[in-house]
Amino acid sequence: MQFGLIEMWQAMGALAKGVSIILIALSIISLYLFIERQLVFARARTKSKAVAPKLADLLKSGQVKEALALSSKKENKGSHLARVTAAGIHEFLEGKEANLSMEEQIGTAQRGCERAATIFTQELKRGLNTLATIATSAPFIGLFGTIAGIINAFRGMALTGSGGIGAVASGIAEALVTTAFGIGVAIIALWCYNFLTTRIDIYGAEMSNTTSQIVDFFIRKQEG
């Protein structure tokens, strides 16, 4: 028996082929989620780099309502920094209209920023649970193929009445291929998950820093 991919695929049983197809689908899903999340992250980073300096200038000059209008624009919705800034300013102005004390206005602004950051973080995490599930389940799915390969190896022994390598080679190859495939898919999904989680942590730190800056701005405004 030759051990090329085509030859091994032809020698596989139905169960092993089904397992392989499932693992191929899971690997495609993993790569799709990784690329899709990367595009979302890139959009957030690009929009934030464009709008953050403008918001900083408006706040420094005391143009709070103008900063709210800019950060609330539809084209800036994908910016995590704009979302946090808009939420903080909105809550501050709402508190001012409700005749809250300055301390209470600052508190509501901070909580508004934190809520917006939490919501945006959850949006960034979309699909990560799927990656984590694939990373943990792919090796076990591959084990189904392993079991099928071992069964085929014993069937070969039974049919030939011999325990020679020729009788079991096909089944053993099938078992090893599906096992390796399952581990490979799990590694890809795990790498994607860890990379995206690290990026989300970075965005979380940026939103936390923006929240602190918004609060500091309102505190300075109070003292001024």
User: Got the DSSP string for 89-119?
Assistant: HHHHHHHHHTT--HHHHHHHHHHHHHHHHHH
Longest dimension (CA), the chain: 94
pLDDT at 207: 95
What whole-number distance in Å separates Cα of residue 38 and Cα of residue 150?
40
Token digits of residue 43:
């959009």
pLDDT at 164: 54
Domain map of the chain by residue range? 5-219
Digit-coded pLDDT (tens) for 14-59: 777 888 889 999 999 999 999 999 999 999 999 999 999 999 899 8
Give the pLDDT band of residue 7 (cuts 50, 70, 90): low
Q: Which residues contact 154 (CB under 8 A, 6 or more apart)?
A: 168, 171
The model carries a pTM of 0.82
